[in-house]
Amino acid sequence: MGPVRVESTAALYFATLFSGYTPMFTPRYARITERLSADGSDVWAVHDRALEMQRNGDDVILLSVGDPDFRTPEPIIDNAVSHLRVGRTHYSPSLGEIKLRRAVADLETRTSPYPCNADEVAIFPGATSAIYATLSCLLDPGDEIVVPEPMYVGYVPIFQGLDLKVRTVPLEVQNGFSLDVSAVKATISDKTRVLFINTPGNPTGAIIPAADIRELANYCRERNIWLVCDEVYSMFCYEGKHVSARASAESLENIVMIDGLSKSHAMSGWRIGWVVAPPTLILRLGSYAGATLFGSPQFIQDASAFALENDQQYVREMRDEYRKRRDYVLDKLGKVKNIRCSRPHAGMFVMCDVSATGLDGKAFAEQLLTEQAVSVIPGDAFGPSAANFVRLGLAQNHSVLKRACKRIRVFCAAI
Ligand SMILES: Cc1ncc(COP(=O)(O)O)c(C=O)c1O
């Protein structure tokens, strides 16, 4: 009998029965693959349905994305292209090109009282990868991490992948999602190895005051706990000032900062992020990056260094545009009686409490999509304390936001 082609489980069964064919290989996978693919509830269900509707020709408005709608500023693109043309297309050091590490270090030196050296910086392909690498180097499976919620949805697969024990602290939802320092301290146990915070916050748009970060940093240092702070929205503050963990802390021993260019420079697809941390951690991140990345593309790092070193006018322009969009949405939805939007001080999102409609965030988001073809993210995607909220993204231009607000008003009036 010739070779047996096996195309399905049923075919495999019959082939095995009648041909004497015995499968030689039973695939087995590492448990991390199960954890990574674990059902993260239906975080993206509304968004996915919106995309499906769009493919079917419906006029859907997507407020469920956090990808900047702006083009990457032209000078950065030109810079990357020119570096491509001169052959910057080779391997690069695992920790990143020294020019970019220095550019990040200079930025940190400008924004904190501590001078920063390139040996405190590691470059990764995006903040997501920087966070994964950092937590991989700080925590073993089963170790405890404390994190406030609502939190960025992207943290969940990272925590799951690394098999961490996650203890969450609810933010003060009715108080603009502020962080209650004493609640965080009460959640930290003698098993906690990392306190993970995010300021300015996604989805909340809240900025953690420098004094609170300082207090937590000291509290953690006294207990041998790392403070890891994700600051990817640092350049989009509208009121109040973002003060980095590095600038807030009294000592840098236990401070790790994550940032990147995805949001600030509309470079989400370029994949550039970084870690700023004590050199001992950076060395370990170097080994980790050597094993997993073997360097990020040279021409992208060249253009990223250029982006950080040169005039930040385009960053200010994007920030001002997001602020206008935020103000517009708050103004229009502020007139809708049965929803109440929190005022984000930073970032790209507006959180709306929809409980007065009689719906929770999930039902509201599902019905808003069905009835008015507007896609938002249900608050419970970010944590249980935001279950009565939906998150609206500001990564759409004014005319789209205008139509979206109108549809939301019509939807709310009909409830
Ligand atoms: C708080 C936060 N951290 C990290 C990321 C991921 O950033 P990156 O594109 O650099 O991986 C995002 C993206 O939305 C975010 O909102």
* One domain, residues 366 and 395: yes
The overall average pLDDT reported for the chain is 94
Domain's final residue, options 309, 337, 368: 309
Report whether 202 contacts 208 (CB < 8 A): no
By 3-state DSSP, what share of the chain in percent is helix, strand and coil, each rounded to 5? 45, 15, 40
pLDDT (0 to 100) of residue 5 = 46
How far, CA to CA in Å, does 315 sit from each of 61, 208, 254, 266?
A: 25, 22, 30, 9
Ligand 1 first shell, C-beta below 6 A:
66, 126-128, 152, 154, 198, 202, 230, 232, 260, 262, 268, 273
Report whether 212 contacts 163 (CB < 8 A): no
* One domain, residues 303 and 319: no
pLDDT (0 to 100) of residue 375 = 98
Residue 50 pLDDT exceeds 70: yes
Ligand 1 atom with the smallest distance to the CA of 127 is 10
pLDDT (0 to 100) of residue 18 = 62
Dmax over CA atoms of the chain, in Å, equals 78
Query: Which of 7-21, 81-95, 369-383, 400-414 is least confident?
Result: 7-21
Domain total in the chain: 2
CA 128 to ligand 1 center in whole angstroms = 6
pLDDT (0 to 100) of residue 40 = 62
Nearest Cα residue to atom 16 of ligand 1: 202
pLDDT (0 to 100) of residue 56 = 97
pLDDT (0 to 100) of residue 206 = 97
pLDDT (0 to 100) of residue 43 = 86
Ligand 1 atom with the smallest distance to the CA of 129 is 11
131 assigned to some structural domain: yes
Residue 189 pLDDT exceeds 70: yes
Nearest Cα residue to atom 13 of ligand 1: 66
* One domain, residues 50 and 113: no
Q: What is the CATH number of the domain that holds 266?
A: 3.40.640.10
Nearest one of 384, 388, 389, 387 to 168, comparing CA atoms: 384
Residue 6 pLDDT exceeds 50: no
75 assigned to some structural domain: no
pLDDT (0 to 100) of residue 37 = 87
* One domain, residues 268 and 319: no
Kindly report, residue by residue over 270-327, the tens digit of the pLDDT.
999 999 999 999 999 999 999 999 999 999 999 999 999 998 899 999 999 999 999 9
Ligand 1 atom with the smallest distance to the CA of 272 is 10
Query: Which of 3-12, 34-43, 196-205 is least confident?
Result: 3-12
Confidence of residue 3 (pLDDT cuts 50, 70, 90): very low
Domain's final residue, options 270, 289, 309: 309
Helix (H, G, I), strand (E, B) or coil at 158: helix
pLDDT (0 to 100) of residue 122 = 98
* One domain, residues 304 and 319: no
Ligand 1 atom with the smallest distance to the CA of 131 is 4
Torsion over CA of 381, 236, 246 and 146, rounded to 10 degrees?
Answer: -10
* One domain, residues 213 and 274: yes
CA 11 to ligand 1 center in whole angstroms = 44
349-353/340-341 β-pairing? antiparallel
pLDDT (0 to 100) of residue 370 = 98
Alpha-carbon span 337 to 330, nearest angstrom: 13
Average pLDDT (359-364) is 98
pLDDT (0 to 100) of residue 25 = 94
CA 134 to ligand 1 center in whole angstroms = 14
Ligand 1 pocket: which of 202, 208, 275 to mutate (most atoms within 8 A of CB): 202
Percent of the chain's residues with pLDDT above 90: 91
* One domain, residues 236 and 133: yes
Residue 186 pLDDT exceeds 90: yes
Report whether 125 contacts 260 (CB < 8 A): no
Range of the domain at 242: 91-309
